[in-house]
Amino acid sequence: MNKPTPFGKTYKEYTEAITDYKFSQLSSVQKVELGLADDVEKLTQQAKDLIPDMTRDIDGIKVKEKNVVTEEKLLTKRKSVFDKADQKENDARKNLDKAIDSSRTAAREFKESEDTLKRNEDSIEFLNKRLDKTKGKASKTRASLEKKLNTLEKAAKDLGVKIPTGEAAKVLKKLISLL
């Protein structure tokens, strides 16, 4: 068994050298893979943290857009009421008290609708700006997460191991749907 190999070592020495080399290589590969797994975990958490903010803003925008439509319709109706009341005041002196009251009420309601409309429009503008900022962060996080996840899956496949990435994939899918 101690016959020298063509490389000048005994079979036992040659086998030990190959074994040591394989273990040292495997150790460095595992370190790289663990770093990738940490990166994916961090990016997954970042994506999770962005989803509630984006969902809240998207829901808020939908509500405010419905409010704007409702208030625009209401504003049109109230403007019409205001105009009719104003005309009654000029035409019917007999019903002056009634017409003045109606006019004042319509004017107040018109002003309330204008104010509400303005607040809703301002809210939509604010939410859109905030959503755009969040989408920018989410887009970068998505790209980075996709890249790291693909790299991790490829490395796991190359090593012949299975690394659970289901949660990261689900979060990534949800994030993409919100973009």
| Domains of the chain by start residue, with CATH | 32-178 (1.10.287)
In 3-state terms, the chain is what percent helix, strand and coil (to 5)? 90, 0, 10
Residue 166 to residues 37, 113, 139, Cα–Cα distance (Å): 13, 49, 20
State residue 48's pLDDT score. Answer: 92
The mean pLDDT value for 131-153 works out to 90
The mean pLDDT value for 22-45 works out to 70
The mean pLDDT value for 3-9 works out to 60
This model's pTM is above 0.95: no
The mean pLDDT value for 86-97 works out to 74
Residue 78 to residues 73, 131, 167, Cα–Cα distance (Å): 9, 33, 52
State residue 85's pLDDT score. Answer: 84
Provide the residue type at 54 as one letter.
Answer: M
Residue 164 to residues 40, 49, 168, Cα–Cα distance (Å): 11, 20, 9
Higher pLDDT, 116 or 96: 116
State residue 11's pLDDT score. Answer: 65
Residue with tokens 């755009």, as numbered in its chain: 132
Higher pLDDT, 30 or 105: 105
